[in-house]
């Protein structure tokens, strides 16, 4: 499967180089598209994906949304999710 100019295997490999796939989530400011990709590392620390290649970020967003990654439009809900996931580790 293709996501923009990228094969699914490339997207998966790229994301897995940062964290486990189930550690990713998306924050959409005021429900806008595209969202900001966040993930928790193995220590439970939250990170934002910072990538210069906008096409790669768009492809990652498309993949994560298709895979059912959690999507938040409220900072409090996002923080509660992070706190819950961190305490579960």
Q: How many domains does the chain have?
A: 1
Please give the pLDDT value at position 78.
92
Residue 89 burial (CB count, 10 A): 10
Give percent of the chain with pLDDT exceeding 70: 93
**Which stretches of the chain drop beneath a pLDDT of 50?**
none
Beta-bridged to residue 27, according to DSSP, are 36, 72
Distance CA 52, CA 57 (A): 8
Please give the pLDDT value at position 31.
58
Overall pTM surpassing 0.85 (yes/no): yes
Domain containing 79: what range?
2-87
């Amino acid at each position: 499967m293709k996501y923009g100019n990228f094969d699914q295997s490339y997207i998966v490999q790229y994301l897995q180089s940062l964290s486990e796939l189930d550690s990713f989530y998306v924050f959409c400011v005021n429900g806008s598209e595209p969202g900001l990709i966040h993930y928790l590392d193995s220590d439970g620390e939250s990170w934002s994906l910072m990538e210069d290649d906008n096409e790669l970020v768009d492809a990652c967003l498309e993949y994560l949304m298709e895979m059912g990654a959690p999507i938040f439009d409220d900072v409090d809900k996002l923080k509660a999710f992070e706190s819950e996931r961190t305490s579960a580790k």
